[in-house]
């Protein structure tokens, strides 16, 4: 009896110990697994530039930063159903954009980088830093980001009506009727407001550096919102330009003066804006490659050549019979001024806004500074003729390099060797 009791006690203790050991092992396994996961997430966060980004954001005093959410990978996966292919909105140079839904019901656009490439990470981080400083109705908002995933992920407000490039040149359902004159005029005004704000209303001016219709999105009310700030730059107030040894931008929209001097100014954005206006007026694509030996077709050049003599002929046939001619003329003239060969002769965004607003309202402000009245036609005619000739030369130079100028490619060099301003993220920091 005594022996049986001792044996039972002994086995009870052994079982208890066994259970304890199994429990301990299970707990240890869970602990190590969680620890490894955490370490991996921390490594990814670091590799994706998270520490730098945190440093940049916390050093800023403005309260907008507080609204920027750092999402966990779980939240992002849930929002996009594990980056389901059904949710793809589109693909760009930087990565794939998915439609997602946050736990609070907000619909978002989730941009996932293509690969873990230092330059792309730099572009992503740059976009976060720039966009968190901005709050404007005509600029796409950023809600947050996630850097603990394999590749960096950015979360933006969802813009439901596509971009202006698709509207003008794509096979959009009802695109012909949707792209009416009123909408084009509003797009021109909204984009001007966005650029005017970037150039002069924020603490330090920001040059967008990739103004094009593909980067102008349309919200639920068809109001335009400027997007894609991967290559944009914050300029210190005392600087007038940004020197980039390698020219970056999109063919057809690229300022020829910047192409030659490598100095990017606010007027380089103005030039690209001029191309957008020409595109809105003519419905033509800004840059079309032709079979050799022909030069690529550049809208800016053709527009400058034709707008004075035969404006009505070059207007997009889809709007020709249904547009406000006074507005068309104003837009065409502004476009022409923006496309001036010399940056210093191009108008500022604020003067363009004034002009567009003046024409847009029924009671024009007679005191406003009218850029159109100061337009010296004769001087310009000669200049534009030179511009057309020279642009062809530039064309040859840029296309002989076989590839049109690639913004993304040159980004790293751009960042590393920007001399006029401190780069936001010097390359060696990655
Ligand atoms: N906030 C958004 N809401 C809805 N759709 C979006 C949003 N941002 C981007 N998209 C869509 O996702 C697609 C890819 O956009 P993205 O900005 O990555 O590339 P892109 O501007 O077309 O090209 P690139 O970055 O090379 O200039 C585009 O078709 C765009 O219309």
pLDDT value of residue 375? 56
- CA–centroid distance, 90 to ligand 1, in Å, is 6
pLDDT value of residue 254? 97
Quick one: which atom of ligand 1 is closest to the CA of 140? Answer: 1
Q: Order of strands across the sheet with 95-101? A: 69-70, 142-146, 153-157, 107-113, 95-101, 88-91
CA-closest candidate to residue 218, choices 270, 275, 251, 172: 172
> Which entry of 117, 171, 190, 210 is annotated as an active-site residue?
210
- CA–centroid distance, 19 to ligand 1, in Å, is 56
pLDDT value of residue 64? 56
Where are the domains positioned within the chain?
53-157, 164-415
Tell me, yes or no, if the two domains 53-157 and 164-415 fold the same way.
no
pLDDT value of residue 374? 56
**135 and 141 in contact (C-beta within 8 Å)?**
yes
Q: Residue 288 to residues 92, 215, 356, 405: CA-CA distances in angstroms?
A: 19, 18, 29, 14
Structural fold of domain 53-157: Phosphorylase Kinase; domain 1 (3.30.200)
Class of the CATH domain delimited by 164-415: mainly alpha
Active site annotation includes 210: yes
pLDDT value of residue 59? 65
Quick one: which atom of ligand 1 is closest to the CA of 228? Answer: 17
**224 and 191 in contact (C-beta within 8 Å)?**
yes
Sign of the CA dihedral running 319, 324, 327, 328: positive
The protein residue with its alpha carbon nearest to ligand 1, atom 23, reads 92
pLDDT value of residue 404? 35
Other beta carbons within 10 Å of 244: 24
Q: Residue 371 to residues 191, 326, 374: CA-CA distances in angstroms?
A: 18, 15, 5
pTM: 0.78
The protein residue with its alpha carbon nearest to ligand 1, atom 12, reads 90
Quick one: which atom of ligand 1 is closest to the CA of 92? Answer: 19
pLDDT along the chain (430 residues), means of 10: 69 80 84 76 71 69 65 94 95 89 95 78 82 92 89 93 94 67 97 96 85 97 94 78 82 96 96 98 96 93 93 94 93 97 96 90 46 57 51 38 34 28 26
- Go through the chain and tell me how many residues it has: 430
Does any ligand 1 atom lie closer than 6 A to the CB of residue 411?
Answer: no
The protein residue with its alpha carbon nearest to ligand 1, atom 16, reads 92
């Amino acid at each position: 009896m005594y022996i049986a009791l001792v044996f039972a006690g002994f086995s009870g203790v052994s079982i208890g110990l066994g259970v304890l050991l199994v429990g301990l092992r299970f707990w240890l396994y869970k602990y190590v697994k969680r620890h490894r996961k955490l370490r991996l997430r921390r490594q990814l966060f670091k590799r994706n530039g998270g520490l730098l980004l945190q440093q940049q954001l916390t050093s800023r005093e403005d309260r907008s930063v507080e609204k920027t959410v750092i999402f966990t990978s779980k939240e992002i996966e849930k929002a996009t159903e594990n980056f389901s292919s059904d949710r793809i909105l589109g693909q760009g140079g930087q990565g794939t954009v998915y439609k997602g839904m946050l736990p609070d019901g907000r619909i978002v656009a989730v941009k996932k980088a293509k690969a873990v490439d230092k330059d792309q990470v730099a572009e992503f981080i740059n976009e976060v830093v720039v966009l968190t400083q901005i709050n404007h109705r005509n600029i796409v908002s950023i809600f947050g980001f996630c850097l603990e995933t394999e590749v960096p992920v950015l979360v933006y407000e969802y813009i439901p009506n596509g971009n202006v490039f698709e509207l003008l040149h794509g096979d959009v359902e009802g695109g012909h009727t949707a792209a009416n004159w009123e909408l084009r005029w509003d797009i021109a005004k909204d984009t001007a407001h966005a650029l005017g704000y970037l150039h002069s209303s924020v603490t330090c001016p920001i040059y967008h550096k990739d103004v094009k219709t593909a980067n102008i999105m349309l919200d639920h009310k068809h109001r335009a919102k400027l997007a894609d700030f991967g290559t944009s730059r914050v300029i210190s107030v005392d600087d007038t330009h940004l020197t980039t040894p390698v020219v970056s931008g999109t063919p057809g929209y690229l300022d020829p003066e910047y192409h030659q001097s490598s100095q990017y100014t606010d007027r380089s954005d103005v030039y690209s804006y001029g191309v957008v206006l020409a595109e809105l007026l003519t419905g033509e694509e800004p840059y079309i490659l032709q079979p050799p030996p022909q030069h690529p077709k550049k809208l800016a050049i053709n527009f400058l050549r034709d707008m004075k003599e035969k404006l009505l002929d070059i207007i997009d046939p889809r709007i020709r019979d249904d547009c406000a001619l006074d507005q068309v003329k104003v837009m065409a003239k502004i476009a022409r001024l923006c496309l001036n060969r010399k940056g210093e002769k191009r108008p500022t965004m604020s003067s363009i806004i004034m002009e567009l607003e003046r024409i847009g309202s029924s009671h024009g402000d007679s005191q406003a500074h009218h850029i159109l009245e100061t337009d010296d036609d004769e001087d310009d005619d000669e200049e534009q003729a030179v511009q057309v000739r020279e642009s062809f030369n530039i064309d040859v130079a840029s296309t002989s390099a076989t590839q049109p100028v690639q913004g993304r490619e040159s980004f790293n060099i751009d960042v590393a060797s920007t001399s006029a301003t401190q780069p936001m993220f010097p390359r060696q920091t990655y």
